[in-house]
Each structure stands twice: as C-alpha cells, then as structure tokens.
Structure 1
Amino acid sequence: MEHMVLSRKQSVVLVFGVFDGLHNGHRFLLGEARKLGNRLIAAVAQDSVVAQIKRRPPVHSLAERIKMLEESRLVDHAVPGDTTLGSWSAVMKWKPNIVALGYDQTELEKELRTFIKKENLPLAIVKIEAHEGNRLHSRFLRTS
C-alpha cells in the first residue's frame, strides 16, 4: 500500500463496492481505508449497475447493503453509487482526498485515473492489497 502525505484530520476517503454481504475481505478493505483518513464513505453500487457489471443481480438490495454497512460501523456513511457507470457523481459530491480501491478493482482504477486527469482533480488513489491472498473474494464465497 502506498504511503500518503496528507493530514489525517482533513482526509476524506471514498471506497466503491457492491458489498453484497460483508465478509472478512470487505472488513479488511474498509479497515485499511479507514486508516488513510478520518472520514470513510462507501459508494454502494446500484442494483442495475451490479447486474450490468456482474451479469447477475445482487443477492441483497441496495437498501439492505447500505443498511448492513451502516450497522457495521465500518464506514461513516454508506451512500448509493452512480446510476450510470463512469459518471463519478460520488467523487464530485463528496470531494474525497483519497479513493481506496481493492486489489481486484483494476478496471475501475483505470477509468478513475482517466477521469481524475480529465477533470484535473487533486485526488490520490490507494490500492489496498488482498486480505489473505484472494481466498476471501466474494465470488469464491458463493456456492451458486
């Protein structure tokens, strides 16, 4: 993980994800992201976006996934993600200093870097390493 030279008291950290059931990999990601700043916001993928990306709907609804995150107290705020891929409304609304990405969010990272450059945003991207390899990836935890 990269080391950031940002004042912790000023740092808003944003994470993106589906969070369709909280497993230890999610907890690790959110815990590491929390260390990067003092306010952690999770943009939770819309059901329609999940279906578009993963070619199947999420198990839990958007409202259920947001409620799960908020009740876990792993984040300060859980908010609905973009309704349109690539619109980056969460970045524009919350104006984070840092976006923390999971080890498997490579495509998202490429798209975000392009957006940051185009908009000339003062935004750092930190890639969080995998927790226990990729053994805890949610696609490996599902039986169906």
Structure 2
Amino acid sequence: KGERLKEYNIIYINGGNPFRLLYFMKKSGADLILRSLSKQNTILIGASAGAVILGPSIDVVQHFSPELNEIGLNDYTALSLTDIAIFPHYDREDVFKEDTGKSIEDRLSEFEEWNNISVTRLKDDQYILINR
C-alpha cells in the first residue's frame, strides 16, 4: 500500500486526527517510505495534522487535544523529517477552547517550558518552507 508513494514527486499529507494519521502511517510502513523519499527529490507537504507528524512528535496535540486520541496511541514519536515542532491553527481560539480561560499562547508557553522545546506557531494563512 505505502509502496505507491514512491511513484510521486510531490506528496500532500492532509489534516485530520493526528493520532490516527500517525498510527496508520506507521502501521502501513508509509513512515519509512516518506523518510526515504525525503532524502530524494520528493516534495512533502503537510497541512494541519500532516504538518505536525512531519516533526519530531505529536506531544503538543496530546497536550491540547487528548480527546482526539481515540485509538489509545502511547508513542507520540512522529516522522522526524524535521526537528521543527509545528502548532497549526494558532489563530483559532475557537478550536482550542479550555475551561480555565487560558489562551493558546499561555498553554503553548507552558508546554514549551515543561518539555524544554520550542514550537513554531502557524496561523491558518501561514506556512513554513524547509529545504533539505
């Protein structure tokens, strides 16, 4: 199944549930194929959850939206095609509401401090280009 990825020069990884996306990428072997293709002339595009899984982990998703982990994923290690941790939808307070009233920025700052990591914040109209 994942072998078909080798036929393409550009691969677009859409959003959705990051836990399910990561689980099925690993289960199908697509993660290994994408790692291999990333070292070639293949362009990988990740949107939303697709961008998050290209980084080192989806820990930030577990921090913000643990209810999405319907499949009980325990290993949040992502594809590590970049060492940049992405937080998409940074401008969408409506998506990431919390009972305590803390802003997305407040919660992201806490996450960064607790995990000793820097997270790149992307609004819905922004992107980041990484050349390797």
- TM-score, normalization: structure 2? 0.38
Which of structures 1 and 2 has the larger relative contact order (alpha carbons within 8 angstroms, sep 6+)? Answer: 1
- TM-score, normalization: structure 1? 0.36
